[in-house]
């Protein structure tokens, strides 16, 4: 029997290959919940195999939101994500059901616990102006607008430099001023009680699961999927094209990586991602319960009494 709707958002996260999908489905079926995706790649139609997107059968088991909502060439950002989540939460509440957010995309996940950075509106003109700059020129422009320094900005990351310059130009404020204003803002979901749980496994076990997962993806047709996506404009979306599994396959298709090295390269990069994810979860999220799969199998309840 479904739980009564409330102002609570349940959030389930964990690193790649930890087993979030199956445990989310089990919990949602038990409590009559609907799932809202927090995976930045599941937004895109056609990115199915390489993202381990829930299968049609899994999507039939539980109602899902924010999966297959845009073409692979579309730009997604946290501001749009928040808007879509709030809409989904209203619809789920109208049906009297609980909401379960599932995924591990840090920038989107953090929106449930902290203010978001993408609140400055950037005009198409500014975006085009900045896009035409080289990284050195963009950095020079940023330093001119920020004579006191660039703080902790990763100046080797073109995307972050570009975004920082766009925001300074659009707002007329320095990065320090934007950071100070940002810190005073509430979370977009501050009116909700957000309950967080995380699934984790030992690194050796995760490594084995990753190996099996990569093999299964390649056998399921990952290479053909990437060829179709390239034809549909995948490379016009740097965030999607650089995702693990996709960037290595693009390299193989375009001759920069030997075919017999593809599986190992994807697995190696996925293991590296897992280590980064685990560090991020420990340092960037509020205190939360971490469950092992064994504890859950023994009857552990993800969110206590839910």
- What's the confidence (pLDDT) of residue 306? 47
Q: What was the pLDDT predicted at 157?
A: 86
Higher pLDDT, 153 or 262: 262
pTM of the model: 0.84
Give me the sheet containing 34-37, strands edge to edge.
64-65, 34-37, 99-102, 8-14, 193-200, 289-292
Within the chain, all domains assigned CATH 3.40.50.300 are found at: 8-115+188-297
Separation between Cα atoms, residue 163 and residue 122, nearest integer Å? 9
CA distance 200 to 296: 11
- Topology of the domain comprising 124-184: Histone, subunit A (1.10.20)
Angle at 275 between CA 272 and CA 280, to 5 degrees: 125
Note the pLDDT tens digit of each residue in 137-152.
Answer: 999 999 999 999 998 8
Contacts of 40 (CB under 8 A, 6+ apart): 76, 103, 105, 107, 108, 239
**pLDDT at residue number 118:** 55
pLDDT category at 305 given cuts 50, 70, 90 is low
Domain 8-115+188-297: which CATH number of 3.30.390.50, 3.20.20.10, 3.40.50.720, 3.40.50.300: 3.40.50.300
- pLDDT on residue 117: 62
Distance between CA 199 and CA 289 in Å, rounded?
9
pLDDT tens string 33-53: 999 999 999 999 999 999 999
User: Where in the chain do CATH 1.10.20 domains reside?
Assistant: 124-184
Least confident among 112-121, 161-170, 176-185, 187-196: 112-121
> What pLDDT is stored for residue 79 in this prediction?
87
pLDDT at 205: 95
What average pLDDT is seen over the chain? 93
Q: pLDDT digits over 243-285, tens only?
A: 999 999 999 999 999 999 999 999 999 999 999 999 999 999 9
- Report the pLDDT value the prediction gives residue 160, as an integer from 0 to 100: 87
């Amino acid at each position: 029997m479904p739980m009564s709707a409330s102002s609570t958002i349940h959030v389930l996260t964990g690193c790649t290959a930890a087993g979030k999908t199956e445990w989310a489905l089990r919990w949602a079926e038990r409590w009559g919940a609907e799932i809202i995706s927090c995976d930045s790649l599941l937004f895109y139609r056609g990115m199915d195999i390489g993202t381990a997107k829930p299968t049609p059968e899994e999507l039939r088991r539980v109602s899902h939101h924010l999966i297959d909502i845009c073409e692979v060439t579309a730009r997604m950002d946290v501001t749009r994500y928040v808007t879509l989540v709030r809409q989904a939460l209203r619809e789920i509440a109208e049906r009297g059901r609980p909401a379960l957010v599932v995924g591990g995309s840090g920038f989107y996940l953090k929106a449930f616990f902290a203010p978001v950075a993408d609140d400055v509106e950037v005009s198409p003109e500014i975006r085009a102006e900045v896009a035409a700059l080289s990284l050195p020129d963009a950095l020079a422009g940023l330093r001119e607008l920020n004579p006191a320094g660039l703080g902790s900005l990763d100046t080797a990351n073109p995307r972050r430099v570009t975004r920082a310059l766009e925001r300074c130009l659009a707002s007329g404020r320095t990065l320090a001023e934007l950071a100070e204003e940002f810190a005073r803002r509430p979370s977009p979901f501050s009116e909700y009680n957000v309950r967080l749980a995380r699934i984790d496994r030992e690194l050796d076990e995760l490594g084995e699961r990753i190996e099996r997962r990569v093999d299964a993806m390649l056998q399921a047709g990952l290479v053909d999927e990437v060829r179709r996506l390239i034809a549909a404009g995948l490379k016009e979306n740097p965030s999607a094209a650089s995702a693990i599994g996709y960037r290595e396959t693009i390299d193989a298709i375009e001759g920069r990586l030997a075919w017999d090295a593809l599986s190992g390269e994807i697995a190696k990069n996925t293991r590296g991602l897992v280590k980064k994810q685990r560090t991020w979860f420990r340092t960037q999220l509020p205190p939360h319960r971490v469950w092992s799969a064994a504890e859950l199998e023994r009857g552990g309840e993800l969110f206590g009494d839910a």
